[in-house]
Chain A
Amino acid sequence: MELNTGIPSGPIQQRWDKHRADLKLVNPANKRKFTVIVVGTGLAGASSAATLAELGYNVHAFTYHDSARRAHSIAAQGGINAAKNYQNDGDSVWRLFYDTVKGGDFRARESNVYRLAQVSVNIIDQCVAQGVPFAREYGGYLSNRSFGGAQVSRTFYAKGQTGQQLLLGAYQALMRQVGLGKVKLHNKQEMMDLIVVDGRARGIVTRDMVTGAVRSHMADAVILATGGYGNVFYLSTNAKACNVTATYRAHKRGALFANPCYTQIHPTCIPQSGDYQSKLTLMSESLRNDGRIWVPKNKGDQRSPDQIPESDRDYYLERKYPSFGNLSPRDIASRAAKEVCDEGRGVGPGGLGVYLDFSDSIRRLGEKAIADRYGNLFEMYERITGENPYKVPMRIYPAVHYTMGGLWVDYNLMSNVPGLFVLGEANFSDHGANRLGASALMQGLADGYFVIPYTIGGYFAQGGLAGVSSDSSEAQAAVKEAEQKISTLLSIGGKRSPTSFHRELGKIMWDKCGMARNEAGLKEALTRIPELREEFWQNLVVPGSGAELNQSLELGLRVADFLEFAELMCYDALQRNESCGGHFREEYQTEDGEAKRNDDDYCYVAAWEHTGVGKTPTLHKESLSFENVQLATRSYK
């Protein structure tokens, strides 16, 4: 299969402008004749649905939540990057581009990243105009802070609730269009399948989560903005409902899945407290600006932290990475935490934790200054752990947080299935093997506000879209298949709940395809996952019926897809015989334990084609060329 990226030619600085000039336009009077389905109402989904409706397209937006304001974008705490250079500290579009390519460990597509950096400045302006209450200085100007992995202050924030405020901005823009009748919002509808007619994405199948009704919706293009698949690990910082179903179903219908093994482990999460744990809670890594990370120097030091003198503490990030210290990128900080815990120097129950200590900053700046910056985060920590972080150092441990992989898309954010566009975390394109802090919000909104409104017009203007209806055989077959799957799940009548399978799968994935991977472990996972999947289809129990609000059924359907998707992740991790970004293969490391990339053999995007459940997927490679940023070993020392 030929992967046509559609990257424009010419100097990278001019590519997006040139491309926009080259894209054909849709006549304003004709836009309403095109129907667009947008699945997901997070940052990427809500921003694209609102903007496309403003342009005049006929938009149908779908969410499995009861309201379009609840997607997990809302939980992003720290901030959003933009190359505004308001701080006069040397930032520029080029530097944001450079940092993102380097931070992604040279596994992202240069042209996409450059465009992301370019439109980042428009995002801030747009959000301010919407009334997003970004933090301000006393003079009334926008405030910035530096954020994990950056040496300039380019991160805009709204207290510790930046994701919430950006999402509410997009949600409000969307609701305005709903009120104007230009967007039809479908709440509590979960996508079950993609409908492909004549090789093009022409609709989706949904299940109404209140009545259980399964039906098809047809359109001229389908946009998936359905987030990431971190919940394949069961325990992650994702919201409970986050799942892979929409993108995985599209994958089964022909869309290539790119780099599924690139998962980001966030270094600052609250450690697990017991077997009943349902999710992990992230503490914004902005905390690393003022908190110092340390563990005891000696194994098995059981003293309480205030009894451990400076001489017996190991501030290991400051020691190993003097120039970035506590602000080292996420993958590096996470792995370093795992290393010290593996050495037996971890703190807290089970030794799975490291200290994040604010006492120096409190001494230097005062408790009030720290409370101003992080008050709500400190409160949240205390609520969960019962410990006061102003007095006792926080305990943190890495947890799965973000997935860089996703459906393969070209420069227009269109998958290899014509008419299927993929935005935000659901696509693979901008973060390479590792995402920098405060870049997820940026990418979601860049895709939704400033990229898709142009590129989808180019697709429609090419013409060739025939009429399509729910009566088509493809639509009817897809609906039938979904109904069949639901009734099968309900009729197994076994002993184990969907959650118990999900937990077991998550454990396999965390142990074998988590923070560190190796060939033997991945091969073991590739035997155990199909076994677990087989048991699932024989021993699952889903109480209740399909024609009602049934949360066990919703979960069962999602877990069924995770059980197939997990295998794909392991195949991807296994073929990538190198360590890069969020993918660390134990066989490929330097003498001092740093990731060892292999640019000669693996400087490509791994795009997988589905060949059938339980069958080895086919690998297609999009080779990456770095014309503007020199391939180099990432060093944060």
Chain B
Amino acid sequence: MNLRLHIWRQAGPNDTGMLKTYDVANVSEHMSFLEMLDVLNEDLIAKGEIPVAFDHDCREGICGTCGMVINGRPHGPVARTTACQLHMRTFKDGDEIYIEPWRAKAFPVLRDLVVDRGSFDRIIQTGGFVSVNTGNAQDGNAIPISKPDADRAMDAAACIGCGACVAACPNSSAMLFTAAKVGHLASLPQGQAERSSRAMNMVLQMDAEGFGSCTNHYECEAACPKGISAEFIAQMNRDFISTTFGGKA
């Protein structure tokens, strides 16, 4: 198939950037979306132009490195699918495709489609862990955890930290990302000791990074390639509010 791509080009953090149009020919339906961009880039190099910078690594939908807004939707049109797992059979001959970086104040563009997501790391840094040093652990089976609790923890922990939730949110809120980690650890007995301070600290850091607030659009849940439920946001809000009023989460 032949496609027309409109891709955001921005030479560096301080450049204003603009959409540029490229035609790609003979795209196979079996290609992944990123392989289609690889072909474009090889073509650009051959023509002496600068290839499009985009983030990617595992290309298996698990590392969370890739991320681009495809026709207005983070990771593109297929639900629960990262850009690297999106395949060209989703598109048809003659399609025009708009490709843009994540857009959020807290994710500054570094070049073209590459953004800086360091803000996510700084949120985790303030409380997204259990404070246990290596060597202190008791036997793994000494803490029985019911299967529903373990499964719920896993559902939240499946977050890949890609940032699609932020890109999808009209407020550029990081609530789903933050709530996924809060919810993962709050579902487990190991996470109880720091449950209150974790919710408080992570939410405060989220605000400090310049992410917006949640106004219940649920665009994040719809865009999440791992299908993380917005219910975790409700749980985090409860933990945060009860902590705010001096109680325990």
**Binding partners A and B:** yes
Taking CB atoms and an 8 Å cut-off, the chain B residues in 173-219 that contact chain A are 184-185, 187-188, 190-191
A-B contact count (CB 8 A): 218
Contact check: which of B11, B38, B80, B125 meets A278 at CB < 8 Å?
B38
Given A140-B145, A172-B124, decide whether A131 and B188 contact each other with a Cβ distance below 8 A. yes
Given A210-B110, A549-B53, decide whether A50 and B143 contact each other with a Cβ distance below 8 A. no
Q: Which residues of B contact A541 (CB under 8 A)?
A: 45
Contact check: which of A161, A240, A497, A549 meets B42 at CB < 8 Å?
A497
Of A68-76, A92-100, A515-523, A562-570, the segment with at least 4 beta carbons within 8 Å of chain B is A68-76
Q: Which residues of A contact B46 (CB under 8 A)?
A: 495, 497
| Interface residues as binary, A551-569 with B (CB distance below 8 Å gives 1, 0 otherwise) | 1100000000000000000
Most buried by A among B31, B49, B56, B65: B65
Residues B154 and A158 in contact, CB atoms below 8 Å apart: yes
Residues A70 and B35 in contact, CB atoms below 8 Å apart: no
Residues A549 and B58 in contact, CB atoms below 8 Å apart: no
Size of interface on B: residues with Cβ below 8 Å to A: 80
Residues B45 and A129 in contact, CB atoms below 8 Å apart: no
Q: Does A336 contact B (CB under 8 A)?
A: no
Q: How far is the CB of B98 from chain A (nearest CB, A)?
A: 21
Taking CB atoms and an 8 Å cut-off, the chain B residues in 129-151 that contact chain A are 129-141, 143-147, 150-151
Contact check: which of B56, B61, B78, B129 meets A173 at CB < 8 Å?
B129
| Interface residues as binary, B7-33 with A (CB distance below 8 Å gives 1, 0 otherwise) | 000011000000000000000101110
Residues A75 and B63 in contact, CB atoms below 8 Å apart: yes
| Interface residues as binary, A123-135 with B (CB distance below 8 Å gives 1, 0 otherwise) | 0111111110111
Q: How far is the CB of B112 from chain A (nearest CB, A)?
A: 9
Taking CB atoms and an 8 Å cut-off, the chain B residues in 32-64 that contact chain A are 32, 34-35, 38-39, 42, 44-46, 48-51, 53, 55-64
Residues B81 and A383 in contact, CB atoms below 8 Å apart: yes
Residues B150 and A128 in contact, CB atoms below 8 Å apart: no
Alpha-carbon distance A282/B62, docked complex (angstroms): 12
Most buried by A among B63, B114, B153: B63
Alpha-carbon distance A192/B30, docked complex (angstroms): 36
Alpha-carbon distance A430/B119, docked complex (angstroms): 38
| Interface residues as binary, A441-454 with B (CB distance below 8 Å gives 1, 0 otherwise) | 00000000110010
Given A50-B134, A175-B125, A239-B59, decide whether A278 and B35 contact each other with a Cβ distance below 8 A. yes
Residues B124 and A159 in contact, CB atoms below 8 Å apart: no
Q: Which residues of A contact B44 (CB under 8 A)?
A: 543
Name which residue of chain A comes closest to B80, CB basis: A379
Q: How far is the CB of A199 from chain B (nearest CB, A)?
A: 31
Q: Which residues of A contact B49 (CB under 8 A)?
A: 543
Residues A65 and B126 in contact, CB atoms below 8 Å apart: no
Taking CB atoms and an 8 Å cut-off, the chain A residues in 114-130 that contact chain B are 122, 124-130
Q: Is the interface of B mostly helix, strand, loop or mixed?
A: loop
Q: Does A335 contact B (CB under 8 A)?
A: no
Residues A67 and B62 in contact, CB atoms below 8 Å apart: no
Chain A residues in contact with chain B, CB under 8 A? 47, 50-51, 54, 65-72, 74-75, 84, 86, 122, 124-131, 133-142, 158-159, 161, 163-165, 168, 171-173, 175-176, 178-179, 185, 187, 210, 239-241, 273-274, 276-279, 281-282, 379-380, 383-384, 386, 449-450, 453, 495, 497, 499-500, 541, 543-544, 548-549, 551-552
In the complex, besides A86-B141, A131-B188, 17 extra interface pairs with C-beta distance below 8 angstroms are: A47-B134, A72-B58, A84-B140, A126-B135, A127-B140, A128-B137, A128-B140, A129-B132, A129-B190, A133-B150, A158-B154, A165-B157, A187-B121, A274-B28, A276-B35, A277-B35, A549-B12
Chain B residues in contact with chain A, CB under 8 A? 11-12, 28, 30-32, 34-35, 38-39, 42, 44-46, 48-51, 53, 55-65, 78, 80-81, 85, 87, 89, 110-111, 114, 116-118, 120-121, 124-126, 128-141, 143-147, 150-151, 153-154, 157-158, 160-161, 184-185, 187-188, 190-191
**Residue contacts A-B, CB under 8 angstroms, 24 given:** A71-B63, A126-B134, A129-B132, A133-B157, A134-B140, A135-B154, A140-B144, A141-B144, A142-B140, A158-B157, A172-B124, A240-B58, A273-B30, A274-B28, A276-B28, A276-B35, A276-B38, A277-B35, A380-B60, A380-B61, A383-B61, A383-B78, A551-B51, A551-B53
